[in-house]
Amino acid sequence: MECLKYLLTLILSITLINSSQAQCWNLVFEEEFDGTSLDLNTWEYQIGGGGWGNNELQYYTNGANVEVSNGTLKIIADRDWGNQYPGNAYTSSRIRTINKADFRYGRMEARIRMPIGQGIWPAFWMMPTDDVYGGWPRSGEMDIVEYLGNDPNTIHGTCHYGHSPSDKSSSGSSYNLPSGDFHTAFHVFAMEWEANVIRWYMDGQLYHAVSAAHPEFSYFNWPFTEDFHFILNLAVGGNWPGSPNGATVFPQTYEVDWVRVYQELPDVQIAGAALLQPYTTAQTYSVLDISGATYNWSVPADAQIISGQGTNEIVVNMGNTSGDIEVDVVTPCGTVSQSIYADISPNMLPNYNFEDDNQNWTTNLFNGAFADFNLDNSQPFEGSTSMCIDVQNLTPNFWDVQLGRTDVSLVSGAHYTLSFWAKADQNGKDLDISFIHPTTYSTYIYRNIILTDSWAQYTIEFTAPITLNVLFNIDLGDELGETCFDDFSFAKTALVSPHLTGINDCLALWEAPDNTVFHLAGLLNQYTIEILNANETVISTHTNVGNSFSIDTAQLPAGRHFVRVTNQSDGALVLQQNIKQP
């Protein structure tokens, strides 16, 4: 049996090595540290002490322990000589690229010279940007290189995964330098990360690999399929290295020459919004900038690329039609086409129907309340899933059981419509809807709604009193039993909603998100469109404009203006709407 295990491991290693040799890598990110300060467009400081979950002894400062000079980054650990951070005997630094340089798959490299001494613990590693699978260790961790200063000729490469901090595992190996140590010279540490395989290298030599096909991943989830970001830090003390001793010299310097990322063409993904309101302007889509590549973008028919064609980043004015944002990337390695679907919808709520489980939703229980929040597949209003909340005990406040969201943005003076489908386990049950301040919990909008025991749609319309990212809460804490929800919609209310009054008569008027451009949509060839000033003097007249027409109020003279739409056949007034205030 041991021989069989050895042969299987050998076969896997040969397969992994050969697959690596066949790859064609494109440089997509390089941080050369050529300036005189840390580039905060790429990195941010993580600040604080408290042990960082490992009983570490340092306080991470806001830049005081970082130096960029002579082409390298230097993270410096030192004693807290002035006792500026009580409870932390040392100071150091920890920086990361979260939401500034995130990657999914590729070859990650850094050229590093390590510090030395008992209790010294530097690392170059990656953590998930969005915790798609849940908190640590469910969404994984990839340690490209770790090093203990008391063992200066050994480095470690590891990945971590699991169900919980008490039910977890890892896969890793160590590499021992045949001669010399990692303190006296620079070495290149690399990790190749593919969808189902991760490999670790030291100066180009493979020393560990792990595959999603490993039997352990029939029990644990393989979480390495999401965006991760870099972390560079120098810890002092902690559970693994132990504390510094009398022989440890301070300060200690962790020196990084460069950090680079290479990707294969299929791994080059488009970054940009997938859910947009109609007529959103200045929306950015990008792929990583590949050395020597050319780019050709295409967008839906009624969208317009206003800048960036031929580069890795475009700016787009969207229309009212959903469709693919596509790019053809041509490099010496070949050509790849990538796309992202831009869903144009007035609905501002991603995962409005719980088809992506409870993503984007929050569930809260306070003051001893208990309720089951169930993604139910047996009785959805539409699709395959609804959210059902079974309240099992009562507490003093109706807000002690909440379903909610934290991603709702209001603009003062804008009109909004919230609608959703719901049903209760008995007629006459009520719930409370509120839009509140995220920290003071002041209520801006409140409604009480009475439910029935069958699916019904409920609608709230209001004008926002404030410009703010607010909490949207559904409060259920004052009645026992089950209430189910599905198909939420939250949108800026159309100034004139789409309607059908005849077989060929369809018209809608939308105000763009920037509040300066108005869009008419429908079968507009049967209408005459006029722009008038406050004296009802016609500024311009438009006919036979097709199915859409835009009015940029910034191009109109100062003063009040409105749009008037009449039927060409009989001159009947169809619409008159103010579009510019004095």
Instruction: List the CATH number of the domain containing 336.
Output: 2.60.40.10
- Look at residue 356 and tell me if it is in a domain: no
Highest mean pLDDT among 78-82, 143-147, 412-416: 143-147
Q: Sign (positive/negative) of CA torsion 477, 478, 481, 487?
A: negative
The closest of 124, 166, 382 to 260, measured between CA atoms, is 124
The answer to whether residues 120 and 241 belong to one domain is: yes
- According to the model, what pLDDT value does residue 8 have? 35
Check whether residue 51 and residue 128 sit in a common domain: yes
Structure confidence at residue 508 (pLDDT): 67
Q: 146 an active-site residue?
A: yes
Which of 492, 523, 552 lies at the terminal end of a domain, its last residue? 492
- Look up 482 and say whether it is catalytic: no
Coil, strand, or helix at residue 218?
Answer: helix
Mean pLDDT of 386-398: 93
One domain, residues 34 and 181 = yes
Same-domain status, 455 and 529: no
The reply to whether 530 and 467 lie within a common domain is no
Domain boundary among 245, 265, 285: 265
59-80: average pLDDT: 97
Question: Which H or E run includes 17?
Answer: helix 2-21
Question: Nearest-CA neighbor of 79 among 120, 37, 124, 38?
Answer: 120
Question: CB-based contacts of 278: which residues, under 8 Å, 6+ apart?
Answer: 318, 319, 320, 344, 345, 346, 510, 512, 519
pLDDT exceeds cutoff 90 at 374: yes
In this predicted structure, which of 6-15, 121-130, 251-260, 535-544 has the lowest mean pLDDT?
6-15
Residues 534 and 426 both lie in one domain: no
Asked whether residue 256 falls in the same domain as residue 276, the answer is: no
Q: Is the dihedral of CA 248, 254, 255, 260 positive or negative?
A: positive
Instruction: Calculate what percentage of the chain has a pLDDT beyond 70.
Output: 92
Please check whether residues 106 and 231 belong to one and the same domain: yes
HEC string of 104-162 equals CCEEEEEEEECCCCCCEEEEEEEEECCCCCCCCCCCCEEEEEEECCCCCCEEEEEEEEE
Average pLDDT over residues 65-90: 95
Assess if residue 292 is contained within a domain.
yes
Residue 20: pLDDT band with limits 50, 70, 90 = very low
Contact between residue 353 and residue 487 where contact means Cβ atoms under 8 Å apart = yes
Question: Between the ranges 358-367, 450-459, 512-521, 547-556, where is the mean pLDDT highest?
Answer: 450-459
Domain-embedded: residue 355: no
User: What would the mean pLDDT of 56-66 be, rounded to a whole number?
Assistant: 96
pLDDT interval class at 578 (50, 70, 90): confident
Q: Read off the pLDDT of each residue in 163-186 and give the average, rounded to a whole number.
A: 95
Query: What is the domain extent for residue 436?
Result: 362-492
Q: Over the chain, what is the mean pLDDT? A: 89
pLDDT bucket at 407, cuts 50 / 70 / 90: confident
Q: Same domain for 367 and 477?
A: yes
**What's the confidence (pLDDT) of residue 249?**
97
Q: What integer pLDDT is reported at residue 495 of this predicted model?
A: 53
Closest CA to 325 of 280, 360, 262: 280
Residues 253 and 317 in one domain: no
Residue where a domain terminates, one of 265, 290, 317: 265
Radius of gyration of the chain (CA): 29
Instruction: Express each pLDDT in 267-298 by its tens digit.
Output: 888 989 888 888 888 999 999 888 788 999 99
* C-alpha–C-alpha distance, residues 395 and 427, integer Å: 22
- In tens, the pLDDT along 204-256 reads 999 999 999 999 999 999 999 999 999 999 999 999 999 999 999 999 999 99
Instruction: Please determine, for residue 7, whether its predicted confidence score (pLDDT) is greater than 80.
Output: no
The tokens for 64 are: 């005081």
**Which pLDDT does position 507 carry in this prediction?**
66
Residue 351 lies in a domain: no
Is 320 a domain residue? Answer: yes
Q: Quick one: average pLDDT of 305-323? A: 93
Q: Check the CA dihedral 409-134-174-261 and report its sign.
A: negative
Q: Tell me, what's the pLDDT at 19?
A: 42
Number of structural domains, the chain?
4
- Model confidence pLDDT, tens digit, residues 426-453: 999 999 999 999 888 999 999 999 999 9
> 187 pLDDT exceeds 90?
yes
Residues 173 and 216 in one domain: yes
Q: Report residue 81 as tokens.
A: 């000589």
CATH code for the domain of 552: 2.60.40.3080
Task: Please name the amino acid found at residue 449.
Answer: I
Residue 17's φ and ψ, nearest 5 degrees, are -65, -45
pLDDT in tens, 466-524: 999 999 999 999 899 999 999 999 987 655 444 333 333 456 676 666 667 777 877 78
Catalytic residue among 56, 67, 109, 141: 141
19 in any annotated domain = no
Q: Write the CA distances from 59 to 75, 101, 130, integer angstroms.
A: 13, 25, 25
- Whether the per-residue pLDDT at 546 is higher than 60: the answer is yes
Q: What's the CA gap between 367 and 185, in Å, rounded?
A: 58
Give the DSSP H or E segment for 15: helix 2-21
Q: Hey, CA dihedral for 89, 93, 99, 102, is it positive or negative?
A: negative
CATH number, domain containing residue 374 = 2.60.120.260
Q: Is residue 540's pLDDT more than 50?
A: yes
Please report, for the domain that includes residue 88, its CATH number. Answer: 2.60.120.200
Contact 274, 343 (CB under 8 A): yes
Strands 415-424 and 430-436: unpaired
- Please, which residues have CB within 8 angstroms of residue 173's CB and are 6 or more apart in sequence? 156, 157, 158, 200, 207, 208
pLDDT, tens digit (0-9, with 9 covering 90-100), for 115-144 = 999 999 999 999 999 888 888 999 999 999
Q: Which pLDDT score is estimated for 315?
A: 96
Q: Is the pLDDT of residue 378 over 70?
A: yes
14 is a domain residue: no
Q: Judge contact between 282 and 313, C-beta under 8 A.
A: no
One domain, residues 387 and 329:
no
Assess if residue 417 is contained within a domain.
yes
**Which of 56, 67, 109, 146 is the catalytic position?**
146
